[in-house]
Amino acid sequence: MTLSDREGDNWTLTTPAARSRNGVVAAQHRIAAQAGAAQLDAGGNAVDAIVATAYALNAVEPWMSGLGGAGFMVIWLAKAQRAVALDFQGVLAGDTRLEDYPVDPSLPATPMGFPGVVDNANIEGYRSITVPGAVAGLDHALTRYGTKRRPEVMAPAIALAERGLDVDWFTSLQIGVCARTLARDPVSSSIYLPGGHPATPESRLRIPILAATLREIAEGGSETFYRGALAEKIVGDLQAGGSRISRQDLAAYEVFEYAPMAVGHRGYTLYTPGARSGGLRQREMLAHALAAMPIPPERPTPETWRVYAEALEHCWKRHKIRNGVITEQGACTSSMSSVDAEGNMVALTYTLLNRFGSGVTLPSTGMLMNDSVSYFDPRPGYPTTMVGGKRINSSNMCPTVAVKDGEARFSVGASGGNLIMPAVTQVAALMMDFGMSVEEAIHHPRLDASFRGSVRIDPRFSPETLATLAKRFELEIAPQRVFPKLYACVSALSRDPATGECVGLNDPTQPVGGAATPAPFQLEPLGDDEPAVRP
């Protein structure tokens, strides 16, 4: 047993929940959640709300996700009594060449566990970028399942981008962690490293052209992004920087819509994006836990946590056998959930992969771009080897919607690379196995296990639980932290069909996270240049 935090953080972390009978939105930034909840207030549904939230994150949490990213979404359609999944993952350029990524044995492995390459070309800079799917995915969801016009849904994001990002200590932390990568790109450096140093609290960052790009998307949707005037700007910037992404690559991009993976557990049906996400591991973890604990005790016991830890180790072992080396440790990604008064519910997780992605901000659009080439192996002959036009087919993202008796009961997702699926599944299991509220489950101590030789555990667990787990595993005892987040960053919400009450909250470790109830979107005044929110 190791204690890794004798001199570490000394905080008690809690976060408030938002409650409403008219719906709620939970996200990693509470202003983005407010942008989403405003759509509910204006008569929109949960899909309108999640799309507004996702776009708003471009302006308030640009380091985690955005126009240059990709992801998954699960939607529960209350009237139709069915769930749909959307895969809008990134795709390699059609002209991808392994010779662009020569292995450098002197470099450490990438966050995905693949060999490092010369100049970190698979994790930093223009050649680490895949065709982004975010705009296609969000537009697909809004067009097919939303109720409001795109300009209305995107108005808060545009206003936030016009205003600029008010820098606090948490923003400075995010920038400081990635300062070296950001310094490689002149546009990113000018935005995030004024004077050559990370932006400091009480300053304001403006991302040039981002508001104009959002407005262009609001007017032209995915058509302009992938096949129109905006596509021309994007490809021009990419190719000028050394990317092989072409106009044909953008024009060929597709969103995959399909029936999500469904798994039954104690009367619930959990819907996830399936085997390309963390959903298959979630299914295997729950099945293993159910077999070992067919009738749960009234409250979790030390044996409960032994079962959960063994189930996580089991599913991760199977995953690594299936996929080879994929050990994502990325600190990026943003997860959010929404529910409306009609019972429609959405879970969305999307990402730039690593924090600030490639570190590249495209000069003609203000878009921060992903580094998802690092999902692929630079060596020939492996299932994950880079091949032109290949789509990301293995991710830890695990947005989950849980349904019982024909009603969506809760939605949960998280950011945090390998930490995502264990955290999401524990929160879900605590609610299903022990009847915990979403608020109680989010605040409960967690452990993390991914078949890596040890199990990390929060010291808030009882001494009996620690002793029981120490008999079976090598333990790393580490408390929850604001940084680094050792147990993922979870966003979740629930809805009680009997009362209609919706409850949402974000992880206690996320100081800027939160949930919001329906209300008009209003920006807090920051000066005389305050923009109006306009459709």
In this structure, what CATH number is given to the domain that contains residue 461? Answer: 3.60.20.40
Res. 328 pLDDT band, cuts 50 70 90: very low
Report if residue 15 sits inside a domain: yes
Residue among 135, 132, 114, 134 at smallest CA distance from 123: 114
R_g of the chain computed on alpha carbons: 22
**Using one digit for the tens of pLDDT, what is the confidence trace for 76-92?**
999 999 999 999 999 99
Within 331-469, strands assigned E span 334-340, 345-351, 400-404, 407-415, 447-448, 455-457
Q: What is the rounded average pLDDT for all residues in the chain?
A: 93
* SS3 at position 71: strand
Report if residue 188 sits inside a domain: no
Res. 531 pLDDT band, cuts 50 70 90: very low
pTM of the model: 0.95
407 DSSP β-pair partners? 404
Report if residue 43 sits inside a domain: yes
**Using one digit for the tens of pLDDT, what is the confidence trace for 28-56?**
999 999 999 999 999 999 999 999 999 99
CB-based burial label for 93 (10 Å; 0-12, 13-18, 19+): buried
The count of domains in the chain is: 1
Angle at which helix 210-227 crosses helix 46-60, to 10 degrees, equals 120
Domain that holds residue 250: 2-164+206-516
415 DSSP β-pair partners? 489
Interval 286-298 mean pLDDT: 96
Alpha-carbon span 275 to 205, nearest angstrom: 39
**Using one digit for the tens of pLDDT, what is the confidence trace for 123-144?**
999 999 999 999 999 999 999 9
Within 243-314, strands assigned E span 256-258, 261-265, 268-272
Report if residue 170 sits inside a domain: no
Which token pair is 451? 């078949």
Report if residue 187 sits inside a domain: no
Mention every residue, 6+ apart, whose C-beta is less than 8 A from residue 166. 204, 526
Interval 14-24 mean pLDDT: 96
CA-to-CA dists, residue 271 to 82, 483, 489, 491, angstroms: 10, 30, 20, 16
Query: pLDDT value at position 530?
Result: 45
Amino acid identity, residue 523?
A: L
High-pLDDT (> 70) share of the chain, %: 94
CB-based burial label for 257 (10 Å; 0-12, 13-18, 19+): middle
Please, where are the H alpha helices in 256-299?
A: 279-292
Report if residue 171 sits inside a domain: no
Alpha-carbon span 464 to 409, nearest angstrom: 32
Interval 416-427 mean pLDDT: 94
Residue among 390, 333, 397 at smallest CA distance from 131: 390
Alpha-carbon span 463 to 467, nearest angstrom: 6
Query: pLDDT value at position 499?
Result: 97
Alpha-carbon span 399 to 350, nearest angstrom: 10
